[in-house]
């Protein structure tokens, strides 16, 4: 079963929905993206809720914008409670706190950020919305002395960010202030099967330009990456699934793994894989359709995949824009010139840049032994590809 919502439904997801013929909730996004052919029947709120309540029903949402609907229409199920556990970063930290006794974090209302004593944490540390999405509102605090300036910046962002996403997706009334988690950062798309066993459908590395970089600009995957991280990732997922009682449940997990192999979680995002169209990276890299895997109980044959894709790295480039850009003033984007940065573009997907601070999602392929194109775009000022409307 599918709930399709803003901000984005990829062609792969839309085609999978049509192919599987499973129930789809009637939403404006579903009507726009599933016009056919073939036409996909859409269910009313009542009919979809009844179908989702049946034993064994599997539900996938591409967007956390669906959380409000689930909380209201499936309140008698276990889903709202499980979703709330993971959407609230403080609640999730509490769930696994005993596994990381040396790790310090605090949950604070927005109004109390100014009064917080930053010396209670080792610098650098992070401040971010307790209910967050897409690295929005995330800041690195390099030293205690920088705290007042960072808080002022957070306060200034709140109004603009609140207009982009519903409160259940991006909550700006509560924040978590936490120590920096050491290690390389990775994202995992996985689902918990009916018996609670975790199944990985992709693992991708999150590339950063510096220690203070909190952007979501570059992710990449390779069979070598998946093979190296499968065992520790499955061990961590199994423990989280046991504590939360997860079954028939898709997740997008962000974590860090240090040099000794120790896994430390950043967050677990419920009911979906990678946001916007990041989950499609598995299809470009390996021919793995993550949506089919979850809804049909398929498990990728990673041994075969490794043999077929050795030496190849596939990446997703998120063409994000700084908060200083007036999105409404963007007239056009030179997508062709942006694509020319990369030697092998698999697909470039333009987005609604007047509504969201991203102008494209671009899937590229590079040799595993040469990530220079990916590193070069990390620090690039992408405003050079914008054409702004004349002032006045």
Which of 24, 32, 82 shows the shortest CA–CA distance to 250? Answer: 82
Which of 87, 387, 130, 341 shows the shortest CA–CA distance to 217? Answer: 341
Q: In the predicted model, is pLDDT for residue 332 greater than 60?
A: yes
Q: What is the average per-residue pLDDT within 317-331?
A: 94
Q: What is the average per-residue pLDDT within 209-220?
A: 82
Q: What is the average per-residue pLDDT within 188-205?
A: 97
pLDDT tens track for 339-354: 999 999 999 999 999 9
Separation CA 240–CA 40 (nearest Å):
36
**N- to C-terminal Cα separation, the chain:** 48
pLDDT confidence of residue 234: 96
The label of the residue with tokens 């803003």 reads: 6
Q: Which range, of 34-38, 112-116, 243-247, 312-316, averages the lowest pLDDT?
A: 34-38
pLDDT confidence of residue 182: 84
pLDDT confidence of residue 164: 61
Residue 342 CA from chain centroid, whole number: 24
Q: In the predicted model, is pLDDT for residue 150 greater than 70?
A: yes
pLDDT tens track for 101-136: 988 999 998 889 999 999 999 989 999 887 765 556
% the chain with pLDDT above 90:
76
* Cβ-proximal residues to 65 (8 Å cutoff; 6+ apart), any chain: 5, 6, 7, 165, 166, 168, 169
Give me the numbers of helices (H) and strands (E) for the chain, helices first please.
13, 18
CB 312 within 8 Å of CB 225: no
Helix ranges restricted to H, the chain:
11-20, 28-33, 45-52, 67-73, 79-87, 89-96, 147-162, 223-244, 281-286, 290-296, 302-309, 335-339, 372-378
pLDDT tier for residue 328 given thresholds of 50, 70 and 90: very high
% the chain with pLDDT above 70:
94
Q: What is the average per-residue pLDDT within 362-386?
A: 96
Give 305-372 as a DSSP string. Answer: HHHHHTTEEEEEEEEE--TTS-GGGEEEE-HHHHHTTSS-EEEEEE--TTTSSEEEEEEEEEETT--H
pLDDT tens track for 153-174: 888 777 666 666 655 555 567 8
The 8-class DSSP code of residue 244 comes to H
pLDDT confidence of residue 304: 93
The label of the residue with tokens 């409670």 reads: 81
Report helix angle 79-87 to 223-244, nearest 10. Answer: 120
Strands 42-43 vs 24-25: parallel, antiparallel or unpaired = parallel
CB 358 within 8 Å of CB 351: yes
Q: 339: burial class by Cβ within 10 Å (0-12, 13-18, 19+)? A: middle
Global pTM?
0.88
Which 3 state secondary structure label does DSSP give 7? Answer: coil
Separation CA 25–CA 43 (nearest Å):
5
Higher pLDDT, 167 or 290: 290
pLDDT confidence of residue 159: 67
Which 3 state secondary structure label does DSSP give 245? Answer: coil
Q: Kindly tell me the sign of the dihedral angle through the C-alpha atoms of 176, 177, 183, 184.
A: positive
Separation CA 131–CA 89 (nearest Å):
6
Q: What is the average per-residue pLDDT within 193-217?
A: 89
Which 3 state secondary structure label does DSSP give 218? Answer: strand
How many other C-beta atoms are found inside a 10 Å radius of the C-beta of residue 392? Answer: 3
pLDDT tier for residue 22 given thresholds of 50, 70 and 90: very high
Separation CA 285–CA 222 (nearest Å):
7
pLDDT confidence of residue 41: 86
Q: In the predicted model, is pLDDT for residue 45 greater than 90?
A: yes
Separation CA 93–CA 20 (nearest Å):
36
Per DSSP, what are the bridge partners of residue 67? none
């Amino acid at each position: 079963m599918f709930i399709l919502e803003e901000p984005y439904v990829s062609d792969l997801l839309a085609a999978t929905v049509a192919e599987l013929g499973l129930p789809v909730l009637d939403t404006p996004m579903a009507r726009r993206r599933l016009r056919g052919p073939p036409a996909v029947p859409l269910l009313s709120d009542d009919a979809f809720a009844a179908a989702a309540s049946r034993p064994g029903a599997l539900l996938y949402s591409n967007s956390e914008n669906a959380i409000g609907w689930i909380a209201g229409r499936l309140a008698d199920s276990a889903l709202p409670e499980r979703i709330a556990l993971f959407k609230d970063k403080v609640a999730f930290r509490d769930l696994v706190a005993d596994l990381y006794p040396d790790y310090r974090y605090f949950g604070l209302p927005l109004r109390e950020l100014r009064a917080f004593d930053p010396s209670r944490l080792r610098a650098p540390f992070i401040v971010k919305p307790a209910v967050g999405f897409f690295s929005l509102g995330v800041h690195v605090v390099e030293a205690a002395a920088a705290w007042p300036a960072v808080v002022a910046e957070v306060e200034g962002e709140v109004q603009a960010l609140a207009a982009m996403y519903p409160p259940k997706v991006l909550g700006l009334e509560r924040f978590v202030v936490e120590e920096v988690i050491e290690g390389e950062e990775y994202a995992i798309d996985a689902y918990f099967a009916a018996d609670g066993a975790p199944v990985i459908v992709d693992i991708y590395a999150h590339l950063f330009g510096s220690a203070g970089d909190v952007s979501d600009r570059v992710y990449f995957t390779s069979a070598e990456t998946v093979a190296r991280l499968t065992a520790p990732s499955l061990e961590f997922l199994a423990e989280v699934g046991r504590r939360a009682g997860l079954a028939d449940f898709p997740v997008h997990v962000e974590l860090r793994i240090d040099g000794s192999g120790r896994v430390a979680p950043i967050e677990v995002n419920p009911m979906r894989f990678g946001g916007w169209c990041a989950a499609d990276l598995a299809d470009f890299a390996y021919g793995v359709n993550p949506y089919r895997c979850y809804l049909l109980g398929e498990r990728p044959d990673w041994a075969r995949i490794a043999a077929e894709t050795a030496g190849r790295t596939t990446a997703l480039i998120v063409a994000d824009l700084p908060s200083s850009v007036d999105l409404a003033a963007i007239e056009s984007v030179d997508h062709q010139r942006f694509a020319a940065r990369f030697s092998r573009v698999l697909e470039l997907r333009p987005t609604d840049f007047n509504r969201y601070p991203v102008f494209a999602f671009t899937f590229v392929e590079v040799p595993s032994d040469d990530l220079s194109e990916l590193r070069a775009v990390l620090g690039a000022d992408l405003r050079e590809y914008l054409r702004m409307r004349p002032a006045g």
